[in-house]
Amino acid sequence: MSEVLSHRCPGRIDEDWKRRRSEFPDAPMPGPETFEALGEARIRRIVDRQHRELWAGPSGRLFAPDEAGLERAIAHTADYFVEMFGGPAVYTPARGKPMLRVRHRPFGVTSDDRWLWLQALARAMAAEDVPAATAADIWAWVEPLSMRMIQPLPEPETLARPSLADLGFLAEGRS
């Protein structure tokens, strides 16, 4: 499976996605204030916490079976989040265009995997004391974005749309 993690996805257009993209909710990018509020080190800790939790659970099959593969996945995802949250361009110079749906295709991401991924992210943000407004901006992006990773592409109305409050994040008194 570690070959899959280092796989450079071809530049093919996902025809199903191209045809159906308008069916999915918008995924508004967080603004640069997200990076300013969190900083690069905290973003990287959030991704590390989330991925280690996933690796140890039922979605662990999505990662390489060894620590080195996990470390690569953490680094790639953290680089992506840092750049997308308004930090330095650390992902695209090394990996090219994100093409997330194509890059995730080999893993066979399911609706259950998406749910576990979102729960782990909410717990990681809580553990890192992410302010509620910043977490909400991140969630407004990642929750609808995560719908696009499921293979085969689902009917969007069939997917749960959890909020951070649904996962107990806002109940913990963050401001």
79 belongs to a structural domain: yes
Per-residue confidence band for 171, with pLDDT thresholds at 50, 70 and 90: low
112 belongs to a structural domain: yes
How many domains does the chain fold into?
A: 1
Q: What is the pLDDT of residues 95-147, one digit of tens each?
A: 777 666 666 667 777 889 899 999 999 999 999 999 999 999 999 999 998 98
Helix, strand and coil content of the chain, in percent to the nearest 5, comes to: 65, 0, 35
Cα(101)–Cα(66) distance, rounded to whole angstroms? Answer: 24
3 belongs to a structural domain: no
Q: What tokens were used for 136?
A: 């909400």
Q: What is the pLDDT of residues 5-27, one digit of tens each?
A: 333 344 445 676 777 778 888 99
163 belongs to a structural domain: yes
167 belongs to a structural domain: yes
Q: What tokens were used for 96?
A: 């090219």
If residue 146 lies in a helix (H) or strand (E), which one and from where to where? helix 132-147
pTM value is 0.83
CB 147 within 8 A of CB 25: yes
CATH number at residue 124: 1.10.490.10
12 belongs to a structural domain: no
Q: Which domain holds residue 35?
A: 30-172
